[in-house]
Chains A and B, each alone.
Chain A
Amino acid sequence: MLHGFLPSLLQGSAVTLAVALSSLAIAAVLGLLGALAKLSRSRLARGVAGTYTTLIRGVPDLVLMLLVFYGGQLAVNSVAPMLGYEDYIDIDPFVAGVLTIGFIFGAYLTEAFRGAFMAVPPGQREAGLAFGMSPRQVLWRITLPQMLRHALPGISNNWLVLVKSTAIVSVIGLSDLMTRGKQAAGTTREPFTFFLAVGLIYLVFTSVSELFFAWAQRRLAIGTRAGKL
Chain B
Amino acid sequence: MNFDAVAENLPLYLTGLVMSLQLLLLSLAGGLVLAVPLAVVRTVLLGWPSRLVWVYTYVFRGTPMLVQLFLIYYGAAQFDAVRDSWAWPWLSSATFCAWLTFTLNTAAYTTEIIAGSIRALPAGEIEAAKALGMSRSLMLRRIVLPAALRRALPAYGNEAIFMLHGTSLASTVTLLDVTGAAQQVYAKYYLPFEAFLTAGAFYLVLTLALVGLFRWAEHRWLKPMMSR
Binding site for B on A (CB under 8 A): 55, 57-64, 66-67, 70-71, 73-75, 160, 164-168, 170-171, 178, 181-182, 185, 189-193, 195-196, 198-199, 202-203, 206-207
Contacts and interface: CB of A to CB of B under 8 A. Distances in A.
B207 to A, nearest CB: 4
A67 B64 contact: no
B78 A189 contact: yes
A207 B207 CA distance: 30
* Interface-central residue, B61, B65, B66, by most chain A CB under 10 Å: B66
A59 B204 contact: yes
Contact of B169 (A62, A190, A193, A203): A62
B186 interface: yes
B228 to A, nearest CB: 20
Interface in B180-222: 182-183, 186, 190, 192-193, 196-197, 199-200, 203-204, 207-208
B67 A178 contact: yes
B70 A191 contact: yes
Contacts of A191: 70-71, 74-75, 77-78
Contacts of B179: 60, 62-63, 66
Contacts of A195: 67, 70-71, 74-75
A164 B191 CA distance: 29
Q: Which 4 A-B pairs have the closest CB atoms?
A: A192-B75, A70-B192, A167-B64, A60-B165
Interface string B49-63: 000000000010111
Interface string B77-114: 11100000000000000000000000000000000000
25 contacts: A60-B168, A62-B171, A63-B182, A63-B203, A66-B179, A66-B182, A66-B186, A66-B196, A70-B192, A70-B196, A74-B192, A160-B62, A164-B64, A164-B65, A165-B64, A178-B64, A181-B67, A181-B70, A182-B70, A191-B77, A195-B75, A199-B67, A202-B62, A202-B63, A202-B67
A207 B62 contact: yes
Contacts of A64: 200
B62 A66 contact: no
A203 B63 contact: yes
A181 B64 CA distance: 13
**Which residue of A67, A74, A203 has the most chain B CB atoms within 10 A of its CB atom?**
A67
Contact of B76 (A58, A67, A192, A206): A192
Interface residues of B, number: 41
B168 A67 contact: no
A58 B192 contact: no
Nearest to A164: B64
Chain B contact surface mostly: helix
A59 B192 CA distance: 16
Contact of B71 (A63, A160, A196): A196
Contacts of A60: 164-168, 179, 203
A153 B193 CA distance: 36
A198 B67 contact: yes
Contacts of B27: none
A62 B67 contact: no
B40 to A, nearest CB: 23
Nearest to B67: A199
B54 to A, nearest CB: 13
Contacts of A75: 193
A159 to B, nearest CB: 13
Contacts of B208: 58
Contacts of B67: 167, 178, 181, 195, 198-199, 202
B204 A55 contact: yes
A66 B199 CA distance: 11
A148 to B, nearest CB: 24
Nearest to B78: A192
